[in-house]
Amino acid sequence: MARTKEFNEDQALDKAIEIFWHKGYNGTSAQDLVAHLGLSRSSLYDTFGDKQKLFSQSLQRYQKQSQDQVIKLLDESQNIKETLHDLFKQAVIESLEDRITKGCFMVNSSVELAMHDEEIAKIVKNNSQVMEEVFTKVVQKGQEAGHISKANEARVLARFIFNNYSGIRVLARTGERDKQVYDDIVKALFSIL
């Protein structure tokens, strides 16, 4: 008779996100996973497969959660430019308060693994494409409402916005603590919008 699982897979994935985000894929050992998730090796591997599969599932869960959060925020916006500014202000606050300099799990994964791992590269590329579409639609909405300049095409601005948002997360990973550096980036970005 098969044993029933005595743990919640989503909670286990959330814990895996934490450890992989903090230590990276290569810096996380099987023992780190067992200890952090509070699972036996057999439960871990029976449920998620190997470390790479667990990482992939964790990254996909992170992607969905992050995208859903941004999409909800932008869908509910009455002024896209203000909402985008709030999104960037929040990214700056998180970057400055992040004492372990973890940055963004998706960006970190892209830098660490996308060049060498085809599955992770697909997840990262999908994330970029989805976010580009999201930002393109909201920029169009902002342009139609007169909140965002029409000097550049919506897709061009969407790519610029997403690149700068990702760049702030990379900067956070380096341990940058000078708020003025972040403020200058945001100021330059919004001067174009």
Domain count, the chain: 1
Query: What pLDDT sits at residue 1?
Result: 43
Q: Is residue 145 part of a domain?
A: yes
What is the residue range of 148's domain? 60-192
What was the pLDDT predicted at 5?
Answer: 58
Residues 35-59 pLDDT 10s: 999 998 999 989 999 999 999 999 9
- pLDDT tens figures, 71-84: 999 999 999 999 99
- Residue 41 in any domain: the answer is no
**186 neighbors 155 (Cβ within 8 angstroms):** no
> pTM score, two decimals?
0.90
Is position 55 within any domain? no
Q: Could you tell me the pLDDT band of residue 99, with boundaries at 50, 70 and 90?
A: confident
Question: Is there a domain that residue 26 lies in?
Answer: no
CATH of the domain at 72: 1.10.357.10
Give pLDDT, residue 4.
Answer: 52
The answer to whether position 1 is within a domain reads: no
The confidence band for 98, taking pLDDT boundaries of 50, 70 and 90, is confident
Query: Looking at the domain assignment, is residue 105 inside a domain?
Result: yes
Q: Is residue 84 part of a domain?
A: yes
Give pLDDT, residue 175: 87
Whether 69 is in a domain gets the answer yes
* pLDDT cut 70: percent of the chain above it: 97
Q: What is the pLDDT of residue 102?
A: 84
